[in-house]
């Protein structure tokens, strides 16, 4: 079995996290490489195939994420999939609320039993899909914490620091 490495992070994120193991030349090279793949943000609009609930959620997220500068044109489809799952999740919740958590089921022997609503498994599947996409976009507190800027602790300057600086 082949182990996969960590997901690549943009160089700006490495620098924000305080990762300083790269030389200035390596940082400049990474920045130049990333700029080659710079993607526009002028086409971030909900696709027409989304229903009204999903379109509304799409617009809400885009508005909330605007200030981060994270979303680009290439993210539209993945965001649309998140919003579509969100809309279906809401629909499942409404049907389950109306019909109840348990429904009657008649088996082949004509016996009627109470069983968990079949949409409960669909609801769980949609939740897992939304959770995975939400993590990629930084929609959860833990996802944002992974990319948050670490606070630099100020330490008192020692005699060694005063004499030799940053050696």
Q: How confident is the model at residue 146 (pLDDT cuts 50, 70, 90)?
A: confident
* pLDDT score recorded for residue 147: 65
> Across the chain, what does the average pLDDT equal?
82
| Residues 106 and 145 occupy one common structural domain | yes
Instruction: Identify whether the C-beta of residue 46 lies closer than 8 Å to the C-beta of residue 78.
Output: no
Neighbours of 80 (CB within 10 A): 19
pLDDT cut 90: percent of the chain above it: 42
User: Residue 8's Cα: distance from chain center in Å?
Assistant: 15
Residue 167: both structure tokens together: 């050696």
DSSP-derived secondary structure letter, 27: H
Tell me which residue range forms the domain holding 5.
1-38
Residue 135 lies in a domain: yes
| Shared domain check, 143 and 65 | yes
Report yes or no on 144 lying in a domain: yes
Q: What global pTM score does this model have? A: 0.67
Rounded distance between C-alpha atoms, residue 48 and residue 35, angstroms: 30
Q: Are residues 56 and 5 in the same domain?
A: no
Does 29 share its domain with 4?
A: yes
- For residues 125 and 79, state if they share a domain: yes
Crossing angle for the helix pair 76-99 and 52-65, to the nearest 10 degrees: 130
Look at phi and psi of residue 53 and say left if phi exceeds 0, alpha if psi is from -120 to 50, else beta: alpha
Cβ contact 126:89 at 8 Å: yes
């Amino acid at each position: 079995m082949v182990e996969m490495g960590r997901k690549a992070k943009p160089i700006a994120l490495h620098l924000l996290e305080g990762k300083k193991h790269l030389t200035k030349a390596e940082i400049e090279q990474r920045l130049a490489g990333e700029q080659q793949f710079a993607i526009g943000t002028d086409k971030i609009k909900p696709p027409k195939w989304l229903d009204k609930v999903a379109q509304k959620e799409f617009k809400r997220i885009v508005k909330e994420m605007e200030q981060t500068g994270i979303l680009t044109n290439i993210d539209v489809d993945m965001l649309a999939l998140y919003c579509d799952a969100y809309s279906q999740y809401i629909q499942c919740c409404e049907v389950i609320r109306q019909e109840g958590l348990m429904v009657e089921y008649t088996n082949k022997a004509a016996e009627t039993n109470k069983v968990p609503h079949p949409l409960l498994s669909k609801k769980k599947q949609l939740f897992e899909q939304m959770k995975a996409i939400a993590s990629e976009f930084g929609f959860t507190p833990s996802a944002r914490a992974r990319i948050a800027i670490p606070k630099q602790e100020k330490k008192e300057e020692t005699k060694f620091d005063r004499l030799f600086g940053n050696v």
